[in-house]
Amino acid sequence: MDEVIIDGCSLSIAALVAAARHRVRVRLDPDAEKRMLASRKVVELAVKKQQVKYGITTGFGKFCNVIISEEDNALLQKNLIMSHACGQGEPFAAEVVRAMMILRANALAVGNSGVRPLVVQRILQLVNADLVPVVPEKGSLGASGDLAPLAHIALVLIGMGEAVYKGKRMAGALALAEAHIEPLVLEPKEGLALINGTQAMTAIGALAVYDALMLYRSATIASAMTFQALRGITEALDARIHELRRQKAQIEAAQDMRYLLEDSLLTTKPSGTRVQDAYALRCTPQVHGACLAAIQHVWGIIAAELNAVTDNPLIFPHVLYEGGDILSGGNFHGEPLALALDYLGIAASELANLSERRLERMVNPTLSEGLPAFLTINGGLNSGFMIVQYSAASLVSENKVLAHPASVDSIPSSANQEDHVSMGTIAARKARQIVDNAGRVVAMEMLAACQALDLRAIQLGVPSIEHSLSPATVSAYRTVRAAVRFSDRDRTMYPDIDAVVALLRDEGLCSTVGRWSWNPEPVAPCEDYV
């Protein structure tokens, strides 16, 4: 992907990740500029005729009944940005802030917000220059949108606040000067349009759901490797079983498992007194499938929100005559995202829960089908993977606390004018943390599975386990072993874990698998956009 086009209708989650995380350049589509100019004329006419329109010629929130004169309008917009920049806590990661800026630009580019194209162009200048406003991660109620986080971005646009530029944190005005970017002078409606929307929760959510899909794939690869290390019984993966359940994502997860385990010499059939495996192996399609279904649902919610208009009021230019309708509504309310992102956090927690249970089976000599205790050759002198499982257990326990939904809470604000809020940004932040924790658990399982497989090779008397593994998992095994060698005695473990975590984060392991049953649908072209 060479560049990402900001046109208000075709931005995809993959494109957002490319621009926000991998620094692919962004540019504004000329057709979007035309739409923006049309709605801008409606705003300018309303100001000229002194029409009473919320946020254009009035104050904000409970002050919506205070009329603002034309000569005070520019000050109104600046005051809005300064007063609303009340964020607290540590700054968001740079990729989150870049995603927020791209999403705000894309929402304005739809052409129903009444701002000049210059506003979007200036935002994209910051993105392409990698000038990242310092945005504290706490302080949003998720309605009226993400006011506080977005205000910190707008502060830098007008030459205030703080930013990170070329690795240094500095005053926003200095950062703009060093990047040769002019501060933006806000005109009527533009301050409100910059901060009244769901772009913080959407940015965090988009990155989180993208990573959650990679988490599902990584966890499925790890489960296939563990399945082989524990000599799992493949009967439970039979397509006929899953077709009878009629759960589409479960059928897809089972199909992924069958593909990953096809032609393995390590899997087994029922025999003797061992007729079925424990749930951690046998129910992988059911659990992973349910989690995949959640990811698919949340993906659809987030994908729609990327190209949504979520500020207030909204501008609808008349086609045949001057002027247009300026309508107040509530698209800034984050409830659709709040519920979805709480769901995502729960699903990611479950992927980690099952992963930790598979890890436990590998290190526990009473459950591991003959593997050495804690996956070490000289147990007692060596502790092996004993505390790896402790650490995984700690992370899944933390996830259980974080998985408590944020969306069921609400605190009235603005003198009860804004009497129900979504807490969507809290839900997004929690989901992102859960996905991160879950990825670390899966990395631990992956590392343990490779250790277990090498110990199986020793038991089988073969120089390498590669010839016994399924073809679809050999590449994943080799990728891990290229980064982390077999542990024949105790050594410091966290660098090994961190190395596998890094492999998962750059999608290295997921890309080793040739196919997956579910891939997100492409975004419809703009001509199909309604």
Residues noted as catalytic: 54
Four-CA torsion 231, 233, 234, 235, nearest 10 degrees: 170
Q: Look at strands 314-317 and 162-165 and give their pairing.
A: unpaired
Instruction: Identify the helix (H) or strand (E) that includes residue 137.
Output: strand 136-138
Q: What sections of 307-423 are H helices per DSSP?
A: 335-363, 386-402
Residue 9 CA, distance from chain mean position: 20
Phi, psi of 188 (to 5 degrees): -50, 135
Tokens representing 517?
Answer: 């049953």
Distance (Å, rounded) from C-alpha 261 to C-alpha 266? 9
Distance (Å, rounded) from C-alpha 238 to C-alpha 284? 12
Phi, psi of 163 (to 5 degrees): -150, 160
Distance (Å, rounded) from C-alpha 289 to C-alpha 294? 9
Distance (Å, rounded) from C-alpha 163 to C-alpha 25? 19
How many CB atoms sit inside 10 A of residue 181's CB? 18
Radius of gyration of the chain (CA): 26
DSSP state of 413: B
Distance (Å, rounded) from C-alpha 357 to C-alpha 404? 21
79 contact partners, CB below 8 Å, separation of at least 6: none
Tokens representing 66?
Answer: 């205070």
Bridge partners of residue 325, in order along the sequence: 316
Distance (Å, rounded) from C-alpha 298 to C-alpha 340? 5
Give per-residue burial for 366-396: e unless 16+ CB within 10 Å, then b: eebbebbbbbbeeeeebebbbebbebbbebb
Q: Edge-to-edge strand order for the sheet containing 168-171?
A: 132-133, 162-165, 168-171
Distance (Å, rounded) from C-alpha 257 to C-alpha 234? 9
Phi, psi of 160 (to 5 degrees): -130, -165
DSSP state of 524: P
Task: Give 510-513's long-range contacts (Cβ < 8 A, gap of 24+).
Answer: 510/214, 510/217, 510/218, 510/221, 512/221, 512/475, 512/476, 512/479, 513/217, 513/221, 513/259, 513/260, 513/472, 513/475, 513/476
How many CB atoms sit inside 10 A of residue 267's CB? 20
